Amino acid sequence: MTTKNEALQAWVEEVAQLTKPDRIHWCDGSDAEYKELLQIALATGDLIELNKETHPSCYLHRSHPTDVARTEHLTFICTQNRDDAGPNNNWISPAEGHDKIDSLFDGCMQGRTMYVLPYCMGPIDSPLARCGVEITDSLYVVLSMRVMTRMGKAALARIERDGNFVRGLHSTGDLSPERRFIMHFPEELMIKSIGSGYGGNALLGKKCHALRIASWQAKSEGWLAEHMLIVGIQNPEGLTRYVAAAFPSACGKTNLAMLIPPATMPGWKVWTVGDDIAWLHLGEDGQLWAINPEAGFFGVAPGTGPKTNPTALNMLDHDTIFTNVGVTADKQPWWEGKNKSEVPVIDWKGNPFDPAGGPAAHPNSRFTVAARQCASASERMEDPAGVPISAIVFGGRRAELAPLVFEARDWKHGVLVGAAVASETTAAATGAVGVVRRDPMAMQPFCGYNFADYWTHWLGFAEKSSKLPKVFHVNWFRQDGNGNFIWPGFGENLRVIEWILGRCEGTANAVETPIGYMPAPSDLDTKNLDIEADTIEALLSIDPAAWQKELDDIRDYFNKYGEHMPRALWDELETTREALEAKLAAA
Q: Pick from 349, 373, 397: which residue ends a domain?
A: 373
Is 98 marked within a binding site? Answer: no
- Is 108 annotated to bind ligand? no
pLDDT of residue 210: 98
Check: CB of residue 533 under 8 Å from CB of residue 521: yes
- Residue ending a domain, among 321, 344, 373, is 373
For residue 484, the surrounding DSSP H or E stretch is none
**If pLDDT is split at 50, 70 and 90, which confidence band does 426 have?**
low
Predicted confidence (pLDDT) at residue 341 exceeds the cutoff of 90 = no
Res 493: pLDDT: 96
Whether 421 and 528 map to the same domain: the answer is yes
Per-residue model confidence (pLDDT) at position 430: 38
* Half-sphere exposure of residue 519: CA atoms within 13 angstroms, side-chain side: 26
Q: What is the DSSP string of 327-374?
A: EETTS-EE-TTT-TT--EEE-TTSSBP-GGG--SS-TT-EEEEEGGG-
Same domain (yes/no): 181, 328: no
Task: Tell me if 378 is assigned to some domain.
Answer: no
Q: Looking at the structure, do residues 216 and 239 belong to the same domain, yes or no?
A: no
**Residue 227 counted as an annotated binding residue:** yes
Instruction: Based on the fold, state whether residues 369 and 428 are members of the same structural domain.
Output: no
Angle at 556 between CA 554 and CA 557, to 5 degrees: 65
pLDDT for 38-88, tens place per residue? 999 999 999 999 999 999 999 999 999 999 988 889 999 999 999 999 999
The response to whether 252 counts as a known ligand-binding position is yes
Of 224, 185, 191, nearest in space to 84 by CA: 185
Q: Are residues 218 and 233 in the same domain?
A: no
* 546 part of a folded domain: yes
Annotation says 27 is catalytic: no
At residue 250, the pLDDT reads: 75
Q: Does the annotation place 5 within a ligand binding site?
A: no
CATH number, residue 509: 3.90.228.20
Kindly report the CA angle at 399 between 393 and 404, in degrees rounded to 5? 40
Pick the catalytic residue from 27, 208, 251, 504.
251
Q: Is residue 456 part of a domain?
A: yes
Mean pLDDT of 4-24: 97
Report how far Cα 544 is from the mean position of its chain's Cα atoms: 32
pLDDT band at 433 (very low <50, low <70, confident <90, very high): low
Same domain, 218 and 234: no
- Number of domains the chain contains: 3
Instruction: Over range 144-157, report the average pLDDT.
Output: 98
pLDDT score for 340: 76
Q: CA 279 to CA 290: how far, in whole Å?
A: 5
What mean pLDDT do residues 396-418 have?
97
> How confident is the model over 524-567, as pLDDT tens digits?
999 989 899 999 999 999 999 999 999 999 999 999 999 999 99
> Taking 50 as the threshold, does the pLDDT of residue 429 lie above it?
no
Claim to verify: residue 259 and residue 209 sit in the same structural domain: no
467 pLDDT more than 80: yes
Residues 543 and 468 in one domain: yes
Q: Are residues 345 and 243 in the same domain?
A: no
Which pLDDT tens digit goes with each residue over 167-216? Answer: 999 999 999 999 999 999 999 999 999 999 999 899 999 999 999 999 99
Residue type, position 494, single letter = L
Mean pLDDT over the full length of the chain: 95
Task: Over range 363-380, report the average pLDDT.
Answer: 96
Of 348, 373, 398, which one is at a domain's C-terminal end?
A: 373
254 is in an annotated binding site: yes
Based on the domain organization, do 427 and 576 belong to the same domain?
A: yes
Confidence at residue 70, expressed as pLDDT on a 0 to 100 scale: 86
Continuous H helices in 20-168: 31-44, 82-85, 94-105, 139-148, 153-162
The stretch 382-393 carries a mean pLDDT of 98
pLDDT, residue 1, reads 67
Dump pLDDT digits (tens) for 303-333. Answer: 999 988 999 999 999 999 999 999 999 999 9
**CATH number reported for the structural domain that contains residue 356 in this entry:** 2.170.8.10
Q: Residue 1 domain-assigned?
A: no
CATH number at residue 70: 3.40.449.10
Q: Which of 38-42, 235-239, 339-343, 475-479 has the lowest mean pLDDT?
A: 339-343
In terms of domains, do 394 and 347 share one? no
- The answer to the question of residue 31 being in a domain is yes
pLDDT band at 428 (very low <50, low <70, confident <90, very high): very low
Based on the number of CB atoms within 10 Å of its own CB, is 395 exposed (0-12), middle (13-18) or buried (19 or more)? buried
Dihedral angle over CA of 411, 253, 149, 124, nearest 10 = -40
pLDDT digits (tens, 9 = 90+) for 480-503: 989 999 999 999 999 999 999 999
Domain ranges, residue 544: 226-277+285-290+383-586
Residue 76 assigned as binding residue: no
Residue 465 lies in a domain: yes
pTM of full prediction above 0.85: yes
Considering the domain architecture, whether residues 437 and 565 belong to the same structural domain is answered as yes
Q: pLDDT band for position 230 (50/70/90)?
A: very high
